[in-house]
Amino acid sequence: MATSDVINERVGELDPSRRVLLGPGPSDVSDRVLRAMAMPTIGHLDPEYLVIMNETCDLLRAVFQTENELTLAVSGTGSAGMEACVCNLIEPGDEMIVCINGVFGGRMQDVAERCGAVVHTMEVPWGEIFEPSAIADMLAKHPKTKAVGFVNAETSTGAYQPIPEISKVVHDAGALVLVDAVTSLAGMDLRIDEWGVDACYSGTQKCLSCPPGLAPVTFSPAAAKVIDERRSKVQSWYLDMTMVRRYWGDERFYHHTAPINMTYALREALRIVVEEGLADRVARHALNHRALRAGLEAMGLRYIPESSLTTLNAISIPDAVEDAVVRGRLLKEFGIEIGGGLGPFKGKAWRIGLMGTASTERNVILVLSALSSVLGSIGAKVDTDAALPAAMGVFGAG
């Protein structure tokens, strides 16, 4: 096997650098989660694994703040969760309103159209958010709308879209509320039941601080009823909740082999969230965000106007500063990953995540120091001495 020999010589033992992951995800994964993931694989129908699945569902319900029976982890990353929510609720010809104010609303439109939905899009400029009254107007124009989809925490812009008021107008119109909570679950307050969310998806690699690979989803009884009463098969066999739920439920009907070790990891990540307590966790994310924001603004950096997430900080790149140079040096010299901009923000914004395990005072200080150092050394017009005192002031005030 000449080819194999060549590959064998070239592809050595895996030895990735230890990064500090302060981008838009993945976030740093704790050793507890990594250790859990490396536990011995057992069968996907092993009685012990079925207990682990049940426990994972219970933990997911606690973190989603829901009683929804149909709550589980889809065997794919966050985008598979989006597709699972959309393709299970939507049948060809159904009308859906999708709110677009960044990458992920745009993605939802694409997914919904591929499912055969008649999509009515609402758009505001990237970074802005939607008024409930505007959504009510749109629903009045399209009274047959089956679902309204929007992004709670837009990872591409930092915009936070509040949920409760929109839920009310959507429910008043008899439609379902579909929420992208990829960057909010377990980092910001998110109350599925109290806020009337009918379908919600997230990813594991953001505020849960678990490696990417699973997508937590939850469906309200109303959404589950819509799925039960479908006239057509779900177009994706893999994501078909009418079958997947029979595997996660008491029936244990074989559908596909679950990603067993990823479930181990998610279960441990969820245990860590529950141990900390949701309220404390949300407060920690908020405090570290305020400190980072104080430091960045004291330095002279500006946030994207509507960037208000506590889990992700979207800031404008100063004039004459080269995006790739700065991010490259942060990675190379400090082992710190921050994110670049997407779409219209490419080259114009940085995205600094403080998610889950990575949302710490230490990381706030570290990234402010590193950024000050790099920006100072390239002569950027920022006040590099001001950052740390401003951040420390926030921590001092608690």
Binding to its own copies (CB under 8 A) within 247-266 occurs at 254-262, 264-265
Give the full edge-to-edge strand order of the sheet including 118-123.
70-74, 215-219, 199-201, 176-180, 145-151, 95-100, 118-123
Minimum Å gap between C-beta 319 and its own copies is: 25
C-beta of 260 vs 367, nearer to its own copies:
260
Binding to its own copies by residue 39, rule CB under 8 A?
Answer: yes
- Which three-class secondary structure state does DSSP give residue 5? helix
CA 265 – CA 262 distance, rounded (Å): 5
Site for its own copies contains 275 (CB under 8 A): yes
Q: Does 40 bind its own copies (CB under 8 A)?
A: yes
Q: What is the DSSP letter of 382?
A: S
Q: Are 244 and 9 in contact (CB under 8 A)?
A: no
Per-position x/- string for 1-30, each x denoting binding to its own copies as judged by CB under 8 A, each - no binding: x-xx--xx-xx--xxxxxx-x-x-xx-xx-
355 phi, psi to nearest 5 deg: -120, 135
Site string for its own copies, 206-245 (x = CB under 8 A): -----xxx-------------------xxxxxxx------
Based on the shown chain and the rule CB under 8 A, indicate whether residue 337 belongs to the binding site for its own copies: yes
Site string for its own copies, 98-137 (x = CB under 8 A): ---------x--xx-xxx----------------------
Alpha carbon dihedral 42, 261, 247, 214, in 10-degree steps, equals 180
Angle in degrees, CA 293, 303, 281, rounded to 5: 45
Give the residue with the Cβ less far from its own copies, 205 or 310: 205
CA distances from 213 to 18, 20, 51, 81, 250 (A): 20, 20, 20, 10, 24
Window 61-100: contact mask with its own copies (x via CB under 8 A): -x------------xxxxxx-xx-----------------
Nearer to its own copies, 212 or 300 (CB): 212
